[in-house]
């Protein structure tokens, strides 16, 4: 249900698309991953991307570039999700009421399939972020596939592994993954929603506060969490476990640290989220230093974890 609302809600509330992370977050994940690629994997990634470039005529939301091929393609999957009908591949709506992990995600993740035919042509392809990672990884591993097919799979993997580590991409509180909420971010005049706060606002605030660039911040996170490489970057590639992990972070931190708290609700199908926005707006939530100081360490950890896991996946591939 969230897919067709993402763009309109974001435009109405924030004038920016709802992403797994914003431009900076996805670039940070890719840069951290780059630092842990083997020489063979690093060269193979660059070769595949260089030989099968993004269409230069394609409109790209992220304008600032780092000069790293992985980082500068990290948001491609958001740019094409409308045309490729893959918007719902970027998340999995595990209800915040779940107290998992409980194993299978089948209740919230239909099998990957072609666009739905019939009375609603053009609908997004079935799937979710966990099985989309498995699907695209299989394509990347298949050396009989064409270069463009494997480069596309690589770009999806760079993005989807990042997406999975934003807790709002593996949780739902009857609010379209935090999109159907209204709150104030510091002294900004325009209202924000929880998804935009976690996508980019908290990261941008951290970068501005520290007066750091994306590459400098990525290196700092890598130094901070370098001793976790063995635990995070040499474990089983397990998107299902990552989804449950993100859902737990959403419960305890993303929603758990809000004051006043947003009531936990079982998601139900509905065609718009105006009622939910009104309910949350009535709570007069202000995201400022208290919330920032509680959550930014967790965001940094999630970004580092995503980078290490992406590096491990690509090292295994190449």
| Sequence-separated (6 or more) residues with CB below 8 Å from residue 230 | none
Task: Judge whether 120 and 135 are in contact, CB under 8 Å.
Answer: no
Q: What is the pLDDT of residue 9?
A: 36
Q: Give per-residue pLDDT as tens, 123-176.
A: 789 999 999 999 999 999 999 999 999 999 999 999 999 999 999 999 999 999
pLDDT of res. 234? 83
Q: Could you tell me the pLDDT band of residue 18, with boundaries at 50, 70 and 90? A: low
**pLDDT-based confidence at 298, cuts 50/70/90?**
very high
Q: How far is C-alpha 203 from the chain's CA centre?
A: 13
Return d(Cα 190, Cα 183) in angstroms, integer.
9
pLDDT reported for residue 13: 34
Q: How far apart are CA 166 and CA 17, in angstroms?
A: 15
Among 1-5, 195-199, 242-246, which is the least confidently predicted range? Answer: 1-5
pLDDT digits over 19-48, tens only? 679 999 999 999 999 999 999 999 999 999
CATH code of the domain containing 119: 1.10.575.10
Residue 189, token pair as written in the block:
């005049």
CA 255 to chain centre: 17
Token readout for 146 is 């064409």
Of 173 and 4, the one with more pLDDT = 173
- The dihedral sign for the CA sequence 195, 197, 200, 202: negative
- Domain span at residue 150 reads 3-317
Helix segments in 14-128, DSSP class H: 23-34, 39-51, 76-80
Phi, psi dihedral angles at 172 (to 5 degrees):
-150, 135
Q: Which has the closest alpha carbon to 23: 131, 133, 159, 143?
A: 159
Query: What pLDDT does 121 receive?
Result: 57
Q: Which two tokens stand for residue 144?
A: 């009989």
- Whole-number Cα distances in Å, 77 to 80, 209, 260, 264: 5, 29, 35, 31
Nearest Cα neighbor of 108 from 85, 124, 131, 80 is: 131
Percent of the chain with pLDDT over 70: 92
> What DSSP state is assigned to residue 268?
-
pLDDT band at 104 (very low <50, low <70, confident <90, very high): confident
Domain count, the chain: 1
pLDDT at 7 exceeding the cut of 50 = no
């Amino acid at each position: 249900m969230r897919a067709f609302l993402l763009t309109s809600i974001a435009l109405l509330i924030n004038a920016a698309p709802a992403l797994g992370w914003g431009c900076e977050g996805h670039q940070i994940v890719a840069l951290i991953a780059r630092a842990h690629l083997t020489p063979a994997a690093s060269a193979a990634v660059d070769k595949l991307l260089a030989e099968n470039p993004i269409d230069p005529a394609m409109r790209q939301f992220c304008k600032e570039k780092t000069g790293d091929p992985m980082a500068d393609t990290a948001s491609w999957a958001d740019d094409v999700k409308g045309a490729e009908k893959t918007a719902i591949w970027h998340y999995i709506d595990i209800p915040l009421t779940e107290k998992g992990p409980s194993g299978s995600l089948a209740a919230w993740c239909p099998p990957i399939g072609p666009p739905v035919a019939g009375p609603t042509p053009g609908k997004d392809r079935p799937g979710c972020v966990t099985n989309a990672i498995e699907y695209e990884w299989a394509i990347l591993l298949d050396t009989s596939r064409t270069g463009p097919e494997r480069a596309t799979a690589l770009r999806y993997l760079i993005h989807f592994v990042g997406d999975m580590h934003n807790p709002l991409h593996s949780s739902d509180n009857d609010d379209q993954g935090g999109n159907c909420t209204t709150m104030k971010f510091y002294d900004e005049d325009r209202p924000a929603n929880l998804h935009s706060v976690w996508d980019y606002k908290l990261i941008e605030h951290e970068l501005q506060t520290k007066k750091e660039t994306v590459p400098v911040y990525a290196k700092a996170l890598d130094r901070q969490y370098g001793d976790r490489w063995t635990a995070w970057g040499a474990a089983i590639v397990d998107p299902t476990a990552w989804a449950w992990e993100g859902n737990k972070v959403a419960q305890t931190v993303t929603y758990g640290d809000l004051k006043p708290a947003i009531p936990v609700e079982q998601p139900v199908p509905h065609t718009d989220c105006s009622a939910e926005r009104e309910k949350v707006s009535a709570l007069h939530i202000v995201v400022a230093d208290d919330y920032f100081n509680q959550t930014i360490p967790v965001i940094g950890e999630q970004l580092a974890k995503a980078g290490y896991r992406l590096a491990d996946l690509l090292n295994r591939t190449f």
